[in-house]
Amino acid sequence: MFGKNPIRPPVSGDGSILEVKSVFPTLQGEGPYTGVPSVFVRLGGCNLACTFCDTEFEDYKAMPLDELLAEVKEKSLQGDVWVRNLVVITGGEPLRQNITPFCEALIADGFKIQIETNGTLFRPLPEAVEIVCSPKNTGQGYFPLREDLLSRITALKFIISKSNTQYGYVPDVGQSMHNIPVYVQPMDEYDVERNQQNLAYTTELAMQHGYRLSLQTHKILGIE
């Protein structure tokens, strides 16, 4: 969206209907589950407008929970074989919406769940849900994450740029107090030279500070 999307606030509701952009089978391309066959559920709308975000999440539709669950189950199969038991709920910003009933239903059906969030919102979620948080710099620096979210985060993922000073470092947003693993991922700036610089710089940060390097392997593979 490259910062051109409307900023959408959290929505209320009982979770029986969600705003869904797409549901698709893929390999998780980033973070702790890189390479794991997954079903992605991309929810619509975001409460931020990051200039480097290349994800389309505004073309969404209201979807009843039972229909969404049925589609996830269908996409988890390869023929008659169950090959994907990881569901990645992303966006946009998935915590804009009440996804708790969706998560509870997925867990009841035996799925693992990973949420990808920007860290500005939080809702009570089942303990089995794993949360990857990618904090964003809105121009005024990074802010400490709220305690109820920090205590639940599985991993933090920071986007790194050599030339964009807002994203040239890894701040402490609370991870040191909670011993949260930190992943660093080079920003895709759609410029070959800048991307090479970002990769080299991110690799250097990982080597110097013990961070884990995350690459967007789905882009390397040419898959969604």
Residue 115, strand partner residues: 89, 131
Domain boundaries along the sequence of the chain: 17-157
Contact 19, 45 (CB under 8 A): yes
Q: Which CATH class is domain 17-157?
A: alpha beta
Q: What is the value of pTM for the model shown?
A: 0.96
76-80, 112-116, 195-199: least confident range: 76-80
Residues 126-182: tens digit of each pLDDT: 999 999 999 999 888 999 999 999 999 999 999 999 999 999 999 999 999 999 999
Beta bridge partners of 41: 23, 89
Instruction: Say whether pLDDT at 1 is over 90.
Output: no
Quick check: 3 pLDDT over 90? no
Distance CA 6, CA 34 (A): 30
At 92 the pLDDT is: 94
